[in-house]
Amino acid sequence: MCWSANADLVAGSAIGAVGAVCVLRTQRVRDLPLAALPLLFGAHQIIESVIWHDGGGTGAAPLAWAVIALPLLPFWVPLGVLAVAPARARLRLLPLCAAGIATAAVLAWTLTTHTVRAEVRGHTMAYAIGLPYPELLLAGYLLATIGALLLSADRHLVLLGVLAAIGAAICAALWRLEFISTWCAFAAVCSVVLLGWVRRTPAAPPGGSRTVTTA
């Protein structure tokens, strides 16, 4: 979340472009969920630019923002990590995937039964949803997203997990101060790390055939 509609739109477009490069460079089908994360980050910020433009409130844009932020990420991230993890790491990732699925299910149910309301607070956008058991849901969310990255056994993804943990703490602190959010910079850095992760496999040669494997 950036501090204005224009900032969100510019940052979201740039991060989405990085995501498009990540997806185009992906050589294995199992890499696609994680490679597409910058596309989600970019779309998330572009949606928030619409919310800023509308001055907050309720409707399709706040709901779409909440769908990506809440049920989608704790479902998407651990399963994406599991898909690319080496065999030695998969067993320890299964409980985190289960936590992510359970957390996503509760969050999805909440979004179907509650109205999402966005409100401008200083230089940040706040969202009122009415989550049940927020501390428990937060624990499940962090385990599924940051925990899965830290236990991935891939140095790029571990780095992404460390950055996610630091970024989440800083963003939360600045949100409480109603100051300019660091989410734009955080999402950009994460997207660059994912681009580096994708580039660990060579791209298809120009004019040559592109081979996509599942192993």
**Contacts (Cβ under 8 Å, ≥6 apart) of 3:** 123, 124, 180, 181
pLDDT tens column, 11-53 = 999 999 999 999 999 989 999 999 999 999 999 999 999 999 9
Residue ranges of the domains in the chain? 5-198
* Overall CATH class of domain 5-198: mainly alpha
Lookup: tokens for 175: 């949100």
pLDDT tens column, 71-126 = 999 999 999 999 999 999 999 999 999 999 999 999 999 999 999 999 988 777 88
Lookup: tokens for 15: 């991060």
Q: How far apart are CA 150 and CA 177, in angstroms?
A: 28
Secondary element (H or E) of residue 138:
helix 134-142
Task: Measure CA 106 to chain center.
Answer: 18
pLDDT tens column, 132-174 = 999 999 999 999 999 999 999 999 999 999 998 988 888 777 7
Residue 207 pLDDT exceeds 70: no
Q: How far apart are CA 188 and CA 170, in angstroms?
A: 15
